[in-house]
Structure 1
């Protein structure tokens, strides 16, 4: 599938989101005036509106699923999935680890993904069947010989239920948890694609949180799946695993499997 036109469009979407977001970053408006919308809500809406304007003008036949303004199916079997600011907490704290996520789904599976960091000017692009690029240069995940050597990341413990937290801690205990990263949202997956992290494990993600990550991680040689080891698609429940080294999948599922409440060994095809 030739996605050259779609890639060019995705770059324009990311550029438009950057322009909309930058003026609101560290602007501190919400602290000054009571009842004023927070910078993140203003930036979020402005960025999604800017991207939707372009999509409506150029690919009116495609569906759009955005975090702020809902979903339309379209009539092409293709859907653009947008998360203008993934990492609201980081944005409000003035940390440049939030990102704009743009994905293209064809028949419910992500085939193109962008992770864009507006402030640092960093952009990861993943295209099905092609190597992932970072600002135009190919990047790849790193090998991880033993789970005990793995650097693991998650956005935070408060995103897990008690059960899910137990599963995560069981996995983390088998990794090099002195190097565990808390916080980071989509940025962790980008860093894993560039070879700086080995495992990311999260729950409660929505389609707009994970769709763009899949082509980026997999194009860099990594693997993304749910907590059963199954591929992610539009209907996934939001339990997400990313591995820099796909050879560690069995070890990861085994580490989680003693606790997983939904059968970590059912049908992941190994």
Structure 2
């Protein structure tokens, strides 16, 4: 398995017990075979692929000009301190797509893969957190990471990232990590991080893996409930013209909630539903890193 190669002499059981979904882990050299997946040749080819989403950012500020028309134009902006961010690059490169699918198959989750080309002496985004479990593979140069546990919103979702508090409110200690080419870093979802390439230009692959959450269970069950007559029926009127008093409305709806909750409980206890959910989640993860997918990137996606 790829994860075993990346972990090297660290047992997989230790990774899951002590790090995955819990705390960062950096491993030296074990990602050396992935270096060929992200080079300047790779980046320039993707830059000149119009369908590949490209973002330029310098020390936390986005480039507001037009998308570079060529790799030469992008490299000129890179020389001015702008990081080149190629988002969902796996949809336009077979090797990166295979990396995304492999991680999804081994750990399960939908994939958000990005390629970062960061100039020396600069960073891309400032302090931020991501909802995904993030795997960083350093393929060229070096990068420095500042990491901080998120105690304010430790398990954010994409929908709740706008609610993320300012990292300055944290009182957790800052951890430091440096990646050289061939190294990799795991950052748990929600962890604050700040990234820079202090001494030399850097290229890295960022793979965000979003595991299933209870919200996904709710979304999955909704598709099943749409076929239930009990869940399609109309509820008693609540308007001012209703013949029911407020106390009667409260009692009717309390009884309805209890009844619907019982039906939902039966559905969730059915092992067939569990198997369907597991199969649906696995399939969604594999499909999320596929060549030719045209889904636009979210504007709030970062590494």
Q: Same fold (TM over 0.5)?
A: no
Under a length normalisation based on structure 1, what TM-score does the superposition of the two structures give? 0.26
Under a length normalisation based on structure 2, what TM-score does the superposition of the two structures give? 0.24
The structure with the larger Rg is: 2
